[in-house]
Amino acid sequence: MAVQSLLSFTHRFEPATDATRPPVLLLHGTGGDENDLVDLGRFVAPGSALLSPRGKVLENGMPRFFRRLAEGVFDEEDLRHRTHQLADFINEAREAYELAPPVALGFSNGANIAAALLLLRSDVLAGAVLFRAMSPFAEPPQTDLSAKPVFLSSGALDPLIPAADASLLAASLSERGAQVRHQVVPTGHNLSQPDVDMAKAWLADL
């Protein structure tokens, strides 16, 4: 699986070995890149095609998918721009690699832009796994997420994302029709084995 730069995002692509499984869009956290979540994707979504772009924004040299003004304070204008940019890349990649709409799997910054994709460009995703996400918009746009499956996993001890913020995101997506499963695990911001195991089981049922 080689790094590709022919499309609008530098990315890695791994073809499916099971054509019945939905492709998975891997969205790394701050400081990650297109390699970060590939092993996780292989584990939680065996057989699925994997599409893993690198965020285009640099914060102190660390890749991200959009700018922030401070910890937990997003530059919403940039977030909207970058969300549409990423959605356009997904459509490019679907055409190039002959993919069905993918399920996004994002961690932290990647989960936040996945949530923004659901709210702004839900047509490009078949669903989402959101690890350590928070509500991306102060006033989330109205959109129809009828029957869109979403798995949200938050940490009870997360110092970066208050439990109330994760619950607000779950409620916001549910109010727009998404089928949300929200799990709270007794850990901090980092991923834990229960996160991974629950996500794998949830994806297997799609």
- Please say if 192 is a catalytic residue: no
Catalytic residue among 8, 78, 88, 189: 189
**Residue corresponding to tokens 């997904």:** 90
- Cα dihedral sign for 88, 174, 153, 188? positive
Q: What's the CA angle centered on 170, arms 77 and 198, to 5 degrees? A: 115
Find the domain containing 187 and state its range: 3-204
Q: What pLDDT sits at residue 30? A: 97
- 129 pLDDT tier (thresholds 50, 70, 90): very high
- Please say if 167 is a catalytic residue: no
The larger pLDDT score, comparing residue 163 to residue 192, is at 192
Least Cα distance to 113 among 75, 88, 86 occurs for 86
pLDDT at residue 3 greater than cutoff 80: no
Q: What pLDDT sits at residue 2? A: 62
Share the mean pLDDT of the chain. 96
Q: What pLDDT sits at residue 37? A: 98
pTM reported for the whole predicted model: 0.96
Catalytic residue among 48, 52, 108, 172: 108
pLDDT at residue 4 greater than cutoff 80: no
Catalytic residue among 11, 36, 48, 158: 158
Backbone angles phi, psi at 146, to 5 degrees: -50, 120
- Please say if 189 is a catalytic residue: yes
Residue 165 sits in a domain whose CATH number is: 3.40.50.1820
- 84 pLDDT tier (thresholds 50, 70, 90): very high
pLDDT at residue 6 greater than cutoff 80: no
Are 128 and 116 in contact, with CB atoms under 8 Å apart? no
Q: What pLDDT sits at residue 1? A: 56
pLDDT at residue 89 greater than cutoff 90: yes
Q: How far apart are CA 66 and CA 44, in angstroms?
A: 26
Q: How far apart are CA 167 and CA 156, in angstroms?
A: 11
Q: What pLDDT sits at residue 160? A: 93
Domain count, the chain: 1
Helix (H) or strand (E) holding 165: helix 163-175
